[in-house]
Each structure stands twice: as C-alpha cells, then as structure tokens.
Structure 1
C-alpha cells in the first residue's frame, strides 16, 4: 500500500512533536500552492487533500458527537457483534495518523480506496509503528488492537465490519478532529469518548459508573483548578515538572483540558507529569491513545485499576510501563542486530560474486 500515513518506519526514532503555538482566535493563513502542471499520461490525477478550515469549538464538539453516532450505526448495521473494543480500536487507530505531505495524495481518499484485507494490514502497521515509539501506552491500549494479532482468525465478515466502520469514521470527520499537525488542534475535543458512550449499553455505563463529561465543562474545571493552583503557589503560571493526576480519568477528558489550559499559558504539556486511573479497560486504553494524540509528552502513566482499592495504582502502572519499555528495547536491539547481520551477509555475497 502507498499510504501517506504518519507511521514510524522500521527502527526509526519517534518524530518530534510540533512546538505548541499560542492560542489562536483565527486560523493561520493557508500557504499559497502552485498550480500543478497536467500530467503527461492520460491517467486521472491523484486526489489532493482538501484545505481544512478551522472549525469553531461548537462545530468541533458537534462533529465528535456525529462521529460517535456514525460509527455506532455502521457497526450495528454490519452486525459487528458485542465486542465493542473492535470499532473503538479502529477509530483510535485512525486518530493516530495524519497527512504527511500537505501537497501529497489525500490520506482520506487513499484509505477509503483500500479493500477490507488491506485495511486490516494498515491497522496492524499503525499499532506496530506506534508501539515502537510508545510501547507503554500502546500496551495499555492492548484491548483495542489485540484481535489484530490473530489475522488467521479474522474472517470475511469481520473484515467487512472493519471496512464499514472505517468508512463511517472517515466520512464523519475523524481526520478533521485529529489529523492536524498542531497538538493544540488535535486536542480540541475527545473524539473517542462519544464512540465509547454510544457503543456501550445504558446498563453497562451505569454499572461502570461511566458518564461523558462535556468538553466545555472539563475545560472550565481545568482552568479553575490551574488558576487556583497558580494563586496558591503565588505564581502567574504552573511550573514545569509538576504532576497532574485524575483518579477517575475515563478516556482522559480532564487531562486534555488541563493540557490545553497549559498551552494557553505558553507552557508545553510535555514538560509536566501526567497520570490517570480508570477501572474500565476500554476507557483506560482510549486514555492511553489520547495521550499520544493530544501530545502530552513522555511522562504519562495510565493505569487500569480501582483507585479506592489500590492507592498504589499509578506506581504499579509505572513499574509495568518500565518493563514494557525494557522489552521494546530488547526487541528493537535484536532487530537491529539481525538487520546488521543481513546487511553484512549481503555485502559478503556481493563481494564473492564479483
């Protein structure tokens, strides 16, 4: 597949996040684009990415709600079954990618053109690539993608459901919410929260004590909290290195709001420590994915635990994260060694042949 995905190539280092910019009241001016010359062949030109207009906050939240409805409807119409981690995981994976080249082939059009089995391969690549960069968070999100590790068990109906949900999510605007290069724009709403809430039955939500907090409310809470802390510390702003924690984090909505509030103060969330706990494995998995999407940085711990029953939930999760990172380092070190051996063998064979 020739997809312009924001995937990490094999053995490549994680690309740096863009430097956060101050809060904007108007979209940045779009760069002028030269008019491309007509191709010499008769084949139709490749679709170019549409120029995205910066949506208002109201439109962003409305799009996120519509996304949840579209994905839920597509999954149910396709008779996807009770495993709601599958459609949620598909939306989560799509939230991790973005247009590499603003003047290149349109990412949305390329994905929509893929066949069901090609989409399965694409999702495997997305999760594998991000595991290389953030194994701690991708491991926490395992419930969303572990079914992809058994491709022989993915039948034609499951592949059909994957295609249906992918199309619904793209057409409902997932890339308009999370496909931006600037983390400020990627963190304007929690797209996964709506998907979770609508796919879950009312009884399951009540049993888990799970409720969606409107972004406007979480923004207000975060702003009030940070303002109070700043006043208590007799400082104009929060200080890098401080720890921001949510003991009942859900998919991370309050952390998102806190990160945005820091950016409005000219601070980088990557300079802070973040942690959240939630008893629901799917919500915690989405919180882990959102931490990447929202650019919270390297110091993030997501625990799937009961805060009241285990006061050491964050420390336990941190220890697990260190073990996962050590495993990644071992695997990648072995892969580099194998690659070096193969390169040496190839050079030797070419020398002997000459």
Structure 2
C-alpha cells in the first residue's frame, strides 16, 4: 500500500509555496469566517483528548446520504450535465463557520436570501477563500468559475441552486464541516460521495476513478503511521521537521490524506507542521481535494496537482510552480487594491480641505 500513500517520502523538491493570508474585504458577511491556520507556539506531546460530545455517529454514512440527496435533487430538477455546479455548492458551504453557536440560525439566514443574494453569497465565499489561499482555490476553479460567467444565471439555474442549497443544509452539512476545530471538520469527506453520486458509472470507469472507503483509508493510515506511537513521541517530536512529506500519487479527493491527518492529531501532532501533496488525473476530484485541504486544516504547505502521475513524475513540482505564480498574482492584485484605496482616501481628504478653504 506504500504506492498509494507514500508517508514521509524522500521526495524533496523546492520549498512548497507557503502563502500568507491576505486581508478579507469588509463586505464579506460577518457570519462567515475563513479557516486560516494558527500554529501552536510549541508542539504538543500528549495524545489528543477527543471531544466525544461533538463526535458524530457514522459521519461517513451521513456524508454519503448528503451526496445521494444532492445528486437526487440535482437530477430531478434537471440541473444538467455540469455536475461541478452542485459539487461547488457543497464545497463553498464547507467553508462556512458560525462564529457564535448561540447566535441566529445560520441555515435560516442563508435560505432567507433571495436567489440573486444567494448567488452573490457564493461568489463572496469563494472570493474570501481566494484571498486566503489562491493556490488551492485556483486548483478548485472548475467548481466556482461558473459563478463568474459573463451572463448571469438564468431563472432555472437560480431555482436549482436554491433547491440544492436547501438540500445540503437540510442534510446537516454544517454538523459535519461547520466546526472551528479541524479535527471535527475532518470526521468525513463530504465531497467524495457527492462526486461519486453525481457522476455516472461509465464516467467513473473511464477515469479509473474508485474512491477508497473511509474505513479502509483510516486503517491504512493507522498502519503506515504506526511507528509514531505514544511511547516514542518524546524523542520523535524533537526531530520532526516541516519538510517531512506526506504524499499520495493517486489521491482522488484526498481521503488518504484526511485519514493520515486525523491519525496525527489523535497522537498529539499538528498536520500543519508537515508537507502534503497529492496528484489526481480528474480535475473535479483534484478540485475537491484542494477544498478538502482547507476544510481539514492541513496547513500552509499543501500542493494538489491535476495530472497523470504515471506519465508525469514531476506533476507536484509543476503544480508548485503554478501555485507560486497564482500567489504572486494575488499579492499584485491586493497591492494594487491597497494603492487605489490609498489614492481615494487622499483625494477625499484633499476635497475636504478644498471645501473647507472655499
């Protein structure tokens, strides 16, 4: 199984791009928060105490039910062949956190918006995440680029988007992904069963796409990471370095990486202290993996490549080059925005001085 999950690989390309967070525009709704990583000042050497009161019963089963429900409503409402649309809706809602659990009901707030406001909400969610991690959001472009089409969504598209959104929330997605704690957000992969349910059997076979069941992924992670038992933590923790690398050359939506990250957390380690990479030939699966990397809190050193790992052994290095270019583009855009804002503030002050002098 080492071919599927090359844990602590000797693969050592140039340093993985580590984007710094950009400021989120003020117009992003205050109800929503970005899952930015905050590193602990010191490593924890104790095994994680699980928050049993928040652990879900059969999270993978609930994720599968959600995927089936989304596929059902999409097809019943004649959503069409663009399955990236409903998958993108699930992905966007995975980014939502409720700041105050005792505050207004978030589901009700979302559904209270009219159709155009709902579309704008989705645009703002993806925009906020692009400012935070442009490299991963660019990899997930297929899931959200339809929101930026030159033509606004027609009435039928608006209707189907609302129907799918309601189904996602009715199936309690926020119970799976709405937690502040990334361990709780990573109890299940909600995008994999959604993709599987929406894609036909023939399409999956043509792509060679067979997603590993979560229980199998968890078992593999336990075995491959078994050397990091609590008995050896004291010595191992002194030598762990961020360059240690967890890689999956046939990653799908990232299920193996999720299992590995959860295993590390249970043993008192922070996945953000590691480097993560994966490759998948399917652009929608790779997009889902990029979203999952953010949802599951894998940290700043994550690379998702969309390529055939068998024919392109340098897929991860190529993806790193692309990631750097996207991050540099983000920095230029944000820098220009700050400059424009500064010029406008200066003009406003000059106008005020001129008005006062007059």
**What TM-score range do you get, normalising by the shorter chain?**
0.7 to 0.9
User: Which portions of structure 1, spanning 4 or more consecutive aligned residues, are displaced by more than 4 angstroms?
Assistant: 1-4, 14-22, 228-231, 233-238
Map 1:11-30 to 2 at 5 A.
Answer: 15-17=36-38, 23-27=48-52
Contact 1:230 1:236 in 2 (8 A): no
Q: CA–CA distance in 2 between the matches of 1:178 and 1:22? A: 23
Q: CA–CA distance in 2 between the matches of 1:126 and 1:24? A: 32
Q: CA–CA distance in 2 between the matches of 1:150 and 1:243? A: 38
Structure 2 residue runs of 5 or longer lacking an equivalent are: 1-26
- Residue of structure 2 in register with 1:90 after alignment: 89
- Residue of structure 2 in register with 1:5 after alignment: 31
- Residue of structure 1 in register with 2:204 after alignment: 205
The yes-or-no answer on 1:270 pairing with 2:272 is yes
Q: CA–CA distance in 2 between the matches of 1:15 and 1:298? A: 9
Q: Comparing 324-333 with 236-245, which one deviates more in the overlay? A: 236-245
How much is the aligned-residue C-alpha RMSD, in angstroms?
A: 2.3
Q: Secondary structure at the match of 1:274?
A: strand
Deviation at 1:97, TM superposition (A): 1.0
The yes-or-no answer on 1:65 pairing with 2:90 is no
Deviation at 1:349, TM superposition (A): 1.4
Contact 1:17 1:295 in 2 (8 A): no
Q: CA–CA distance in 1 between the matches of 2:39 and 2:110? A: 25
Q: CA–CA distance in 1 between the matches of 2:166 and 2:84? A: 17
- Residue of structure 1 in register with 2:263 after alignment: 261
Deviation at 1:5, TM superposition (A): 3.5
Q: Which has the higher contact order (CA 8 A, sep 6+)?
A: 2
Deviation at 1:307, TM superposition (A): 0.3
Contact 1:303 1:313 in 2 (8 A): yes
| CA 220–320 in structure 1, closer or farther in 2 if over 3 Å, else same | same
- Residue of structure 1 in register with 2:176 after alignment: 177
Q: Secondary structure at the match of 1:188?
A: coil
CA deviations over 1:51-87 (Å, ceiling 9, x no partner): xx5423x2x1221011001101110111000010000
Map 1:195-234 to 2 at 5 A.
Answer: 195-228=194-227
TM-score (norm 2): 0.85
CA deviations over 1:243-298 (Å, ceiling 9, x no partner): 00000000000000111111111111111000000000000000000000000000
| CA 22–92 in structure 1, closer or farther in 2 if over 3 Å, else same | farther
TM-score (norm 1): 0.85
- Residue of structure 1 in register with 2:157 after alignment: 158
The yes-or-no answer on 1:302 pairing with 2:298 is no
Q: Secondary structure at the match of 1:307?
A: coil
Q: CA–CA distance in 1 between the matches of 2:274 and 2:260? A: 11
Q: Secondary structure at the match of 1:227?
A: coil
Q: CA–CA distance in 2 between the matches of 1:264 and 1:25? A: 8
Structure 1 residue runs of 5 or longer lacking an equivalent are: 9-13, 29-52
Map 1:309-328 to 2 at 5 A.
Answer: 309-328=311-330
Q: CA–CA distance in 1 between the matches of 2:187 and 2:39? A: 16
Deviation at 1:103, TM superposition (A): 2.8
1:281 to 280, 283, 287: 283
Q: CA–CA distance in 1 between the matches of 2:47 and 2:114? A: 41
